[in-house]
Chains A and B, each alone.
Chain A
Amino acid sequence: MKKSRETQKRKQEKTSLPVHIFFLLFGLICLIPFITVVSASFSSELDLARYGFRVLPKKWDLTAYKYLFENPKMVLNAYGVTIFITVVGTVFGVLFMAMVAFCLARSSMKLKSVLTFYIYFPTLFSGGLTASYIINTQYLNLTNSLAALVAPGLINIFNVFMIRTFLKQQPASLFEAAKIDGASEYAIFFRIALPLAKPVLATVAFLTALDKWNEWYNSMLYIRDNDKITLQHMLQRMMNNINVLMENMDNIPMGVNLADIPGENLRMAMLIVSIGPMMCFFPFFQKYFTKGMTVGAIKG
């Protein structure tokens, strides 16, 4: 009762003006860079050379996008790869992580402390980039394989412990009751634990999907084939060399000034095409993101 009165009181207080101004300014700092790259993608290369990057384009121009949509093969390939690894990585990642987390949360599990240490130790010590690279390329033949983009980071240890902590907080009697009724551990996991853990699984699924959508590191290490690179990796290569995209573009769109060969604007258009959908989509899942920051006590 007392608590609710207090929260009400807190609600009635007004936010002071300087606080609003602070956040409006900060909001601008966050948004202006976005608006700048959007406007650069809608400018002609000549305008960019003359006036530089601007918050609003001098004149709206669609040349860069015309080039992109006339030659969609590379972009579509990268989209396909990215969507594929996001879906596969999220589905299997969440399933495997939930499975091992359930195992760690069950009190009847015999080897629990050994398993906990086994799962946790890789956060303390790693073989490093070179050893992983040699093993993945020489022994596992992951070069140019999409498995290289999904499998190595599939088990995120932080997420495993987040799910385990959540499951541990649930009343153990739920599991025990099913046990007495003769349910197998599989049944308990799929029928009771998974539905129970929905909130934390949503958070983990979101974090995993974001991670896979932004995947470029393994792509950069293991993928040589242009048809199999992820969106972010393609962006990275374009930053170093704009020709990566241009040399794959045979179709010059109609009604385009041939002197106006796209450069920076094409780069920025490519950036918008690859991050745009995500930027519209992910903010709706913000609460899972913030939840992930505040949960997640890892303790053995």
Chain B
Amino acid sequence: MKEKKRIRKKGFLDNVQLISLALPAVVLLAIFSYWPMFGIVLAFKDYKASKGIWGSPWAKLKNFEFFFRSQDLTRILRNTLVLNFLFIIVGIVCAVLFALVMFEVKKASHVKAYQTVAILPSFLSWIAVGYIVYALLEPTKGILNRIIEAFGAEGISWYTEASYWPVILLIVSLWKSVGLGSIIYYAALMGVDNDLSEAAKIDGANKLQQTWYVSIPQIIPVIMIRFIMSVGGIFRSDFGLFYNVTRNIGALYSTTDVIDTYVYRALMVQGNIGMSSAVSVFQSVVCLITLLVTNGIVRKVSPDNSLF
């Protein structure tokens, strides 16, 4: 009896120690993640700095009305969804292709060298990428226009022509991420049973057939999971890409303005706290819904890969 009590006491003490280890992370998340969650009431308030978040008068749905009535809504929703969907699809296809070609490199030292170069761009911040894109696209000095002009055609004023930017952003985002993105598929390919390819080879399958009928079906689960998970986050954009690579130029907003850049400008440039928090909340809620839905799908398809 005494022994049992002692053990229980020891177990309690251990748990206190464990919880104290978790404490710094718990406190940091409480301050920087959970507190702002309650801050979403801002979207329903007419915020006055002097009165604080809770003290400010309620504005009912005024902040939302303004946003839903404006034409900005369709624009930023369209840009967010179309561009992110494009990035996801093309990104996965290119990363898989890249991994397949990488799989054909037989010498380990070559694989390492090629990987090092391919993931170099992912070390850069979006600011640095913005500089590099600028060196290519600057209208008078940029390399691209110099090449176009060398062929006798007229240079293009890239930073004022919104119509080119979906493609430019796609290429830039691929350039930065394809090398790193391919690694997960390359690892999956390495795990594919060699016997299958050997068997296919003996049956007379050529290289392409081996890839199409043996390698790709083996990594389909990984591809599906990546796809579904990325779609779950489709309402969140990579702010750095859309803000820095476009240099935040107004003429490009029609095709490059996404929810995150819109919220940022509403807050920092216009100082419209009501509207920016309304859009923020709108984004958080649709994001939560898409994540729950996509996770539900993953759980159906392959329970091992679902997040929760």
By a beta-carbon cutoff of 8 Å, the part of chain A in contact with chain B is: 6, 10-11, 13-16, 19-20, 22-23, 26-27, 29-31, 33-34, 36-37, 40, 48-49, 52-55, 96-97, 99-100, 102-104, 106, 108-111, 115, 118-120, 122, 124-136, 138-140, 151-155, 160, 184-186, 189, 210, 214, 216-217, 221, 232-233, 235-236, 239-240, 264, 267-268, 271, 274-275, 278-279, 282-283, 286, 289-290, 293-294, 298-300
| 20 A-B residue pairs with CB within 8 Å | A11-B108, A27-B117, A37-B131, A52-B146, A53-B138, A53-B142, A96-B24, A127-B38, A130-B277, A131-B36, A135-B39, A135-B53, A184-B17, A216-B127, A239-B130, A264-B141, A268-B135, A271-B128, A275-B125, A293-B183
Q: How far is the CA of A98 from the CA of B143 in the complex (A)?
A: 47
In the complex, residue of chain A having the shortest beta-carbon distance to the beta carbon of B276: A130
Q: 8 closest Cβ contacts across the A-B interface? A: A131-B39, A128-B280, A127-B36, A100-B25, A214-B125, A185-B17, A130-B277, A122-B33
Q: How far is the CA of A266 from the CA of B15 in the complex (A)?
A: 57
> Interface size for chain B: under 10, 10 to 19, 20 to 34, or 35 or more residues?
35 or more
What is the CB-to-nearest-CB distance from A87 to chain B, in angstroms, rounded to a whole number? 18
Please give, as numbers and ranges, the residues of chain B lying within 8 Å of A22 by CB-CB distance. 101
By a beta-carbon cutoff of 8 Å, the part of chain B in contact with chain A is: 11, 14-15, 17-19, 21-22, 24-26, 28-29, 31-40, 42, 47, 49, 52-53, 101-102, 104-108, 110, 112, 114-125, 127-128, 130-132, 134-136, 138, 140-143, 145-146, 175, 179-180, 183-184, 187, 194, 239-240, 244, 247-248, 260, 263-264, 267-268, 273, 276-277, 280-281, 283-284, 287-288, 291-292, 306-308
Q: How far is the CA of A251 from the CA of B229 in the complex (A)?
A: 53
What is the CB-to-nearest-CB distance from A221 to chain B, in angstroms, rounded to a whole number? 7
What is the CB-to-nearest-CB distance from B109 to chain A, in angstroms, rounded to a whole number? 11
In the complex, residue of chain A having the shortest beta-carbon distance to the beta carbon of B35: A135
What is the CB-to-nearest-CB distance from A75 to chain B, in angstroms, rounded to a whole number? 15
Return the contact of B36 from the options A132, A221, A268 (Cβ within 8 A).
A132
Q: Are A294 and B25 in contact (CB under 8 A)?
A: no
